[in-house]
Amino acid sequence: MSTREVELESTVGGLTAKGKLHTLSVWFILALRLMIGLAFLQSGVDKVLSGEFSASGYLQNAPPANGSPVADLFVSMGNTPWFVDFVNIAVPWGEVLIGLGVLLGAMTRLAAFFGAFMMLLFYLGNWDVAHGYINGDFAYMLVFLSVAAFGAGRIFGLDRYIESYEIDGQPLVERYPWARYFLG
């Protein structure tokens, strides 16, 4: 096993961060991807199979009870029948699709983006800062963002093969560079 370190450097807003990753880091990145993918897949499948998921009561009651700063928005969404119907489908099936995408490493960045967005909404809806601003929803959001940032779908995932799929003799991501935003 190789023990060389990989150097990273990124500049955002004029601030440069530097660091080194140990080669074992790839296994932890893979573990994060598999853990969050399985958690979301399981949660979504449970909701789909039970057929009992309903967002209405949650949207109308939980955010105000939790003191969420956007409680009025959640209540408004919960009082809009077409939106509740949409959420009743989008949450369980979204969890299934996000979980499958991340677990299989297929369109990983796209799946992780939607997973992070969903966790942000859960964070705002489940607002409880009695023990600080960081909770499980926030941590899951960061896991999804890490999976996307590290291109975790390339580690024993389908994105590695999708990216190299050739179209007219050229790898997909070279022919369509924008695909890198969805794959990886």
Distance (Å, whole) CA 48 – CA 37: 16
Looking at per-residue confidence, does 17 or 111 come out higher? 111
Other Cβ atoms closer than 10 A to 26: 16
d(CA 157, CA 179): 16
Q: How far apart are CA 39 and CA 140, in angstroms?
A: 10
Average pLDDT of the residues in 86-104: 96
Mean pLDDT, to the nearest integer, of 134-156? 93
CA distance linking residue 36 with residue 99, whole number of Å? 7
Mean pLDDT, to the nearest integer, of 77-104? 95
pLDDT of residue 2: 53
Flag whether pLDDT at 3 surpasses 60.
no
Distance from first CA to last CA of the chain, Å, rounded? 24
| Amino acid 29: pLDDT | 93
Are 106 and 97 spatial neighbours (Cβ–Cβ below 8 Å)?
Answer: no
Closest alpha carbon to 162 in 152, 170, 173, 151 = 173
**Block residue for tokens 């969903």:** 118
Location of structure tokens 């093969």: 161
pLDDT at 8 (0 to 100) = 81
DSSP-assigned beta bridge partners for residue 7: 20
